[in-house]
Amino acid sequence: MNPIRVRLAPSPTGSLHIGTARTGLFNYLFAKKLGGTFVLRIEDTDLERSEPAFEKDILEHLTWLGLSWDEGPYRQSERLDIYEKYLIQLFEKGDVYYCFCREEELEIERQEMMTRGVAPKYSGRCSHLSREQAEQRAVQGESSVIRFRMPETRIAFEDMIRGKVEFDTSLFGDVVIAKNVRTPLYNFAVVVDDFEMKISHVIRGEDHISNTPKQIALQRALGFTTPEYAHLPLILDKNRAKLSKRFNAVSILEYKNSGYLPEALFNFIALLGWHPSISDAELLTQEELIEQFDISRVQKAGAIFDIEKLNWMNAHYVKEKTPEELVVLLTPFLPEEWVRDKEKLVAIISLEQERMKRFSEFSDLARFFFDLPEYEAQLLVWKTMSLEMAEDNLKIVLGVLGAYNEIWNTSAVETLIMPLTESRGRGEMLWPLRVALSGQSHSPGPFEIAGILGKEDSIRRIELALQKLAALLM
């Protein structure tokens, strides 16, 4: 049996797309599960749109996600001799020819065929030109492309996910496979590369399914073997359309920048269109996913990308981190001055850890520790209690805390305050204190906040609250 070799073949025309990442993920799981080799190939023959910066981005984010490749990256732009060699072969066999038809003429034909209700395809007008004649015109600089004589037949293949898929290739017409001998186009370059790289299984997005019969026809003309195919369902947006840049976050970079963890993205994307057979568990490590992966269980229908579920999953992985790990991960998201007092930051993180779904939310959650927000005095009042009572309770708290001179921490504050709640009521005591310390209607508990703020800052905030109340009571 041939060794298992799969590949991911992104074009460096943008930051790593979530769909590309998922295709990569399934290739990766497939290879790891079966002991195969995962090849990375950069399809950069489109010089107009390809940029080295995007290639760098793609490599970087594949690595960030944990999708390590075993071979490559190969670059199509560095393999032009190889394509040329096979193209010449095709010329010699008479399977390709130069076409000099102009874009405008082709467009008119297309329109005409469509109004007739026929599948638009090339008429084959240039296919009868003699090779010598055509080559001469091409050499003289007349603009041309290279077309492949598509056999008129039916081509079927067995898709690992969908089963038998069949196309009538006579509907395709003679497709353009290269702009010239040094500029191969997608379908041709892929066929050559997959063969040269001994790819055994082509796992790619469903959007390529109609390219497959064209590629098989090309493989036959070149005497290549045909690999196994699996066409993955697409990732859809809320409107069930292919995820588009205009309305959605589509690059892994954007998810990274909003503070998603790679393990959460990995887990989430793996389950988008696939489900293990052995249990309903959904929180799975990379090792478990590899262990349980089975490509024949991949869903046929497209899957909507549900950010809410990703949020839940990310929150789970955030909770699993230690505060020390989170300091490192959060640092890029924080103002510089917050990072100075690491001990304080660790304490804040361990408090806010369970409240954040993404790292980008953390600074809003934690800001009040550094800057007390503006708030209305009325916020200090719990439910129906009176202003006076809120004032009284805060004065008592202030007295107790002010007189305390031992070691200041969360449990010390709790020990001091909790007894007071028995006679004066929990809500009545704790709500005003918590608001005084946080300046917010929602926050962690008052003891935890006071523990982190320290005595001096806590006292100052309580005094400020009392001033607000006094102003209101006057």
Binding segment for RNA (CB under 7 A), chosen from 78-86, 192-200, 397-405, 428-436, is 428-436
Please pick, from the candidates 133, 411, 441, 467, the single residue that binds RNA as defined by CB under 7 A: 441
User: Mask of contacts with RNA, 99-118, x by CB under 7 A?
Assistant: -------xx--x---x--xx
Of residues 69 and 268, the one with the C-beta less far from RNA? 268
133 is a contact residue toward RNA (CB under 7 A)? no
Distances (CA, A) of 407 to 415, 454, 455: 12, 10, 9
Q: How many CB atoms lie within 10 A of CB 411?
A: 11
CB 296, CB 160: distance < 8 Å: yes
- Give the whole-angstrom CA distance, residue 338 versus residue 346: 11
Is 245 one of the annotated active-site residues of the chain? yes
Which amino acid belongs to residue 259? G
Please pick, from the candidates 434, 455, 461, 468, the single residue that binds RNA as defined by CB under 7 A: 434
290 is a contact residue toward RNA (CB under 7 A)? no
Q: How many residues bind RNA (CB under 7 A)?
A: 67
Q: Considering 56, 85, 93, 245, which one is annotated as catalytic?
A: 245
- Give the whole-angstrom CA distance, residue 98 versus residue 440: 73
423 is a contact residue toward RNA (CB under 7 A)? no
Which amino acid belongs to residue 443? S
Binding segment for RNA (CB under 7 A), chosen from 24-32, 65-73, 254-262, 422-430, is 422-430
At 23, list the tokens: 């295709």
412 is a contact residue toward RNA (CB under 7 A)? no
What residues have CB less than 8 Å from 297, skipping those under 6 apart?
274, 275, 276, 277
- Give the whole-angstrom CA distance, residue 279 versus residue 271: 13
53 is a contact residue toward RNA (CB under 7 A)? no
Alpha carbons within 13 A on the beta-carbon side of 448: 11
Of residues 82 and 346, the one with the C-beta less far from RNA? 346
- Give the whole-angstrom CA distance, residue 253 versus residue 18: 9
Smallest distance, Å, CB 71 to RNA? 28
Cα 403–chain centre separation: 54
Smallest distance, Å, CB 31 to RNA? 21
At 56, list the tokens: 């760098």
User: Mask of contacts with RNA, 221-240, x by CB under 7 A?
Assistant: ------------xx-x--xx
C-alpha angle with apex 6: 154 to 220, nearest 5 degrees?
30
Smallest distance, Å, CB 17 to RNA? 12
Using CA atoms in the order 325, 331, 336, 338, what is the torsion angle rounded to 10 degrees?
Answer: -40
Binding segment for RNA (CB under 7 A), chosen from 16-24, 142-150, 253-261, 277-285, is 277-285
Q: How many CB atoms lie within 10 A of CB 213?
A: 22
Of residues 171 and 346, the one with the C-beta less far from RNA? 171
DSSP assigned state of 405: -
The three state secondary structure string of 325-336 is HHHHHHHHHCCH
446 is a contact residue toward RNA (CB under 7 A)? yes
- Give the whole-angstrom CA distance, residue 189 versus residue 84: 10
User: Mask of contacts with RNA, 304-323, x by CB under 7 A?
Assistant: x-x-xx-xx--xx--x----
Smallest distance, Å, CB 237 to RNA? 9
C-alpha angle with apex 118: 113 to 124, nearest 5 degrees?
65
Write out the binding residues for RNA, residues 15-44 only, by CB under 7 A.
none
Smallest distance, Å, CB 273 to RNA? 3
Smallest distance, Å, CB 354 to RNA? 4
Of residues 72 and 445, the one with the C-beta less far from RNA? 445
CB 367, CB 447: distance < 8 Å: no
Smallest distance, Å, CB 59 to RNA? 24
Of residues 62 and 243, the one with the C-beta less far from RNA? 243
- Give the whole-angstrom CA distance, residue 436 versus residue 414: 16
User: Mask of contacts with RNA, 146-175, x by CB under 7 A?
Assistant: ----------------xx-xxxx--x----
Distances (CA, A) of 214 to 46, 110, 350: 20, 20, 56
Residue of 63, 3, 4, 64 lying closest to 31 (CA atoms) = 4
207 is a contact residue toward RNA (CB under 7 A)? yes
Smallest distance, Å, CB 183 to RNA? 16
Residues within the interface to RNA (CB under 7 A): 106-107, 110, 114, 117-121, 162-163, 165-168, 171, 206-207, 209-211, 233-234, 236, 239-242, 271-275, 277, 280, 282, 297, 299-304, 306, 308-309, 311-312, 315-316, 319, 354-355, 382, 421, 426-427, 430-431, 434, 441-447
User: Catalytic amino acids?
Assistant: 245
